[in-house]
Copies of this chain bind each other. A is one copy, B any other.
Amino acid sequence: MATGRTHRPATRSRGIPEATVARLPLYLRALTALSERSVPTVSSEELAAAAGVNSAKLRKDFSYLGSYGTRGVGYDVEYLVYQISRELGLTQDWPVVIVGIGNLGAALANYGGFASRGFRVAALIDADPALTGKPVAGIPVQHTDDLEKIIKDNGVSIGVIATPAGAAQQVCDRLVAAGVTSILNFAPTVLNVPDGVDVRKVDLSIELQILAFHEQRKAGEEAAAEGAVPAAATRPDSADQGPDGDVPAVMPA
């Protein structure tokens, strides 16, 4: 543990940039891997490589947390793991509910990453009475009717929405009314929430569309490198795909 400081930088955690916060979990994961291999210290260069960022960015990020490194040496792995965990609030237990136990909800319930690092699946909730009582990942599914009670009894402040798009806003409203203040949304919808509630979204089709944009650009550049064809589809298989509206349900809940 090397540097046994007392620390506590007074006006702590004030104004850590959002971009930095979003990278802390990445650093933490890389550090945890090092910790498991019993690596005692790591340089910004090495850690940055493991986390897939450049070292200047990493050092700047850490500078917002405090001076946790040793010049000429690097960072103490265990100490950093602890500091970042604390900064992220992972030294406490966060009960989480998952609403919508379809394919995706079940996958999330089974996801090992939940159990580790401070998160605990407190309950699974679904609107389908046929699912009520059935265990998924060892946890019996409860009915949506009891949502408010479940939230309150378990002191849940983080909710995961894995329902179809059509149900998401309604579920969201009920979660918020019951006291949830952070939501991870897997449904392909924009959620409206009051101030003070954080929403993060995970959207498969958005990610794919972003990739498609870059793919198209690559194809266009190849063509440009050869010559001609200024602004049209370049791939031979360019076809007009079926109609189909968007707003696809994630899965039946």
Nearest-neighbor residue (CB-CB) of A86 within chain B: B233
- Assembled-state Cα–Cα distance A206/B233 (Å): 36
Q: Is the CB of A247 within 8 A of B87?
A: no
Q: Is the CB of A246 within 8 A of B13?
A: no
Interface size on A, residues (CB 8 A): 95
Q: Is the CB of B212 within 8 A of A89?
A: yes
Interface set, chain A 208-226, CB cutoff 8 A to B: 208-218, 220
- Assembled-state Cα–Cα distance A25/B148 (Å): 33
- Assembled-state Cα–Cα distance A190/B212 (Å): 21
* Residues of chain B lying within 8 A (CB to CB) of residue A153: none
- Assembled-state Cα–Cα distance A242/B115 (Å): 9
Q: Is the CB of B106 within 8 A of A212?
A: no
Partner of A251, one of B91, B111, B242, B248: B111
A44 at the interface (CB under 8 A from B): no
Q: Is the CB of B32 within 8 A of A111?
A: no
Which among A68-76, A170-178, A181-189 touches the partner chain? A181-189
Which among A54-62, A125-133, A138-146, A195-203 touches the partner chain? A195-203
Indicate whether A233 sits within 8 Å of B202 (C-beta atoms), given known contacts A188-B29, A248-B113.
no
* Besides A33-B245, A92-B237, 7 new A-B residue pairs in contact (Cβ under 8 A), listed by A number: A33-B247, A88-B212, A89-B216, A102-B107, A117-B205, A117-B244, A182-B211
Task: List the 7 closest A-B pairs by CB distance, nearest first.
Answer: A89-B216, A112-B248, A103-B107, A113-B205, A113-B248, A52-B190, A32-B246
